[in-house]
């Protein structure tokens, strides 16, 4: 089975690129399942219901999020009716929405998607390790679903690698998000889980993490905020990661980065384009 995950869409530039390209990519790679992180889709901060609908229309099966999930306050309400939108699983009990859910892929596979958030250099949350563990409740991967996918939204690569080893062999794929900068450590872990510390963002890389450079630089220099961060509006790079997953074991057999358009050196998984 072929699964594509796209990193955090930042603002109009990232959103437009993904909405325009996703139908083409679905077709070009014969994708069975697509997940995108949408936490920065609305002007860099959160997501609106309209954007949710547009992304699903364009071919996203699931939209994951992270620390910015509630930046657009309306998300607290519409998340309960947007079944394809997830928020981090390890918010306190009673938080609106869901952090894990089962979806059907184009090839008929049952896919469990989980979204969790790290705690190192981030806001206090329930323990992501115990929360994810509880969700899997000591069952084998294939006793739960055909594929288990985890978007671990975290700052520290150590915490993300720890989650990788914690779930190795118990999940099909674990991807890191949040830093908006792709890492080169994509690989298959010892027990068959496809892993990358950070997928990067879909946005303008002529920026600071997708934001117009002036204000973030000014804040580093002066330590005084002077205006709101604005998404950078140049041409976006679509940044993602592709997985080939074995139908029998539910584990990853191939993993490769996708980087298209914009400033980064283009790359596509060679096992999808030959």
Q: Which residues are catalytic, by number?
A: 68
The closest alpha carbon to 30, from 106, 113, 108, belongs to 106
Please state, in angstroms and rounded to a whole number, the distance separating the CA atoms of residues 177 and 196. 9
Query: Between 66 and 192, whose beta carbon lies closer to Fe ion?
Result: 66
Nearest approach in angstroms of CB 191 to Fe ion is 28
Tell me the residue number closest to Fe ion, measured at CB. 8
Question: Is-contact 64 103, C-beta < 8 A?
Answer: no
Nearest approach in angstroms of CB 147 to Fe ion is 24
Task: Give the tokens for residue 241.
Answer: 């990661």
Please state, in angstroms and rounded to a whole number, the distance separating the CA atoms of residues 227 and 174. 36
The closest alpha carbon to 81, from 107, 117, 56, belongs to 56
Nearest approach in angstroms of CB 220 to Fe ion is 19
Query: Between 200 and 257, whose beta carbon lies closer to Fe ion?
Result: 200
Query: Between 82 and 179, whose beta carbon lies closer to Fe ion?
Result: 179
Query: Between 12 and 170, whose beta carbon lies closer to Fe ion?
Result: 12
Nearest approach in angstroms of CB 66 to Fe ion is 4
Backbone angles phi, psi at 243, to 5 degrees: -130, 135
CB atoms under 10 Å from CB of 140, counted, come to 10
| Residues contributing to the site for Fe ion (CB under 5 A) | 8, 39-40, 66-67, 178
């Amino acid at each position: 089975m072929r699964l594509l995950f796209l990193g955090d869409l930042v603002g109009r530039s990232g959103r437009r690129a993904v909405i325009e390209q996703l139908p083409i990519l679905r077709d070009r790679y014969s994708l069975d399942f697509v997940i995108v992180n949408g936490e920065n889709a609305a002007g860099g901060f959160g997501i609106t219901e309209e954007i949710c609908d547009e992304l699903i229309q364009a071919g996203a099966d699931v939209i994951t999020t992270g620390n910015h999930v509630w930046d657009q306050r309306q998300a607290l309400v519409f998340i309960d009716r947007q079944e394809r939108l997830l928020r981090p699983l390890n918010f306190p009990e009673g938080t609106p929405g869901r952090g894990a859910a089962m979806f059907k892929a184009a090839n008929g596979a049952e896919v469990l998607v989980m979204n969790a958030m790290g705690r190192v250099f981030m806001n206090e949350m329930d323990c992501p390790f115990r929360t994810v563990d509880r969700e899997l409740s000591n069952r084998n991967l294939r006793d739960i679903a055909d594929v288990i996918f985890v978007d671990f939204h975290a700052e520290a690569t150590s915490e993300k690698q720890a989650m990788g080893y914690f779930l190795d062999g118990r999940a099909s794929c674990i991807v890191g998000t949040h830093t908006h900068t792709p890492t080169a450590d994509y690989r298959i872990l010892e027990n068959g889980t496809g892993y990358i510390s950070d997928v990067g963002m879909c946005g303008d890389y002529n920026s600071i993490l997708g934001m117009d450079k002036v204000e973030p630089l000014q804040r580093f220099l002066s330590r005084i905020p002077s205006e709101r961060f604005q998404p950078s509006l140049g041409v976006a790079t679509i940044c993602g990661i592709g997985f080939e997953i074995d139908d029998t074991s539910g584990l990853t057999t191939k993993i490769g980065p996708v980087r298209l358009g914009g400033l980064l050196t283009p790359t596509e998984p060679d096992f999808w384009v030959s």
